[in-house]
């Protein structure tokens, strides 16, 4: 039996690590914030699309690289989906909040904003 061989690690746990533990360690090591806070997401959205559009939209989810945004106007929904989706994605990716953003899904909704 060899002890202390090169490249060998002493096993300190009693079993295999869960994927969650491994992923958290990797994210921390690579200084990646996997889950930006609600306020951070809303602020970044507003800074990216501007106040006029932000007042007519609401970010409702960020999961699996997809940002889900509710839009309270059918014409705006069509405009954002058809003409501005890629531009918004590229702009959001430039910041640290959304490095793994792959897509934005816009959906119709009716809501009142607290002003």
What is the pLDDT at residue 71?
Answer: 96
CB 69 within 8 A of CB 57: yes
Rounded to an integer, the average pLDDT of 25-39 is 65
What is the pLDDT at residue 22?
Answer: 77
DSSP 31-100: T--SS--HHHHHHHHHHHH-HHHHTTEEEEEEETTEEEEEES-HHHHHHIIIIIHHHHHHHHHHSSS-TT
**Could you read off the pLDDT of 60-104 as tens digits, one per residue?**
988 888 999 999 999 999 999 999 999 999 999 887 777 788 999
For residue 8, pLDDT over 60 is answered with no
What is the pLDDT at residue 16?
Answer: 84
What phi and psi, each to the nearest 5 degrees, are found at residue 5?
A: -65, 160
For residue 54, pLDDT over 90 is answered with yes
Domains of the chain: 38-108 (3.30.300.180)
Distance CA 100, CA 88 (A): 14
Element (H, E) at 77: helix 74-79
């Amino acid at each position: 039996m060899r002890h202390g061989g090169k490249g060998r690690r002493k096993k300190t746990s009693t079993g295999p690590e869960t994927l969650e533990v491994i992923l958290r360690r990797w994210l921390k090591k690579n200084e990646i914030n996997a889950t930006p806070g609600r306020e951070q997401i809303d602020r970044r959205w507003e800074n990216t699309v501007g106040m006029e559009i932000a007042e007519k939209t609401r970010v409702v989810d960020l999961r699996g690289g997809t940002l889900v945004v509710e839009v309270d106007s059918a014409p705006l929904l069509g405009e954002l989906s058809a003409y501005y989706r890629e531009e918004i994605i590229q702009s959001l990716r430039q910041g640290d909040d959304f490095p793994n953003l792959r897509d934005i899904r816009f959906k119709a909704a009716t809501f009142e904003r607290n002003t």
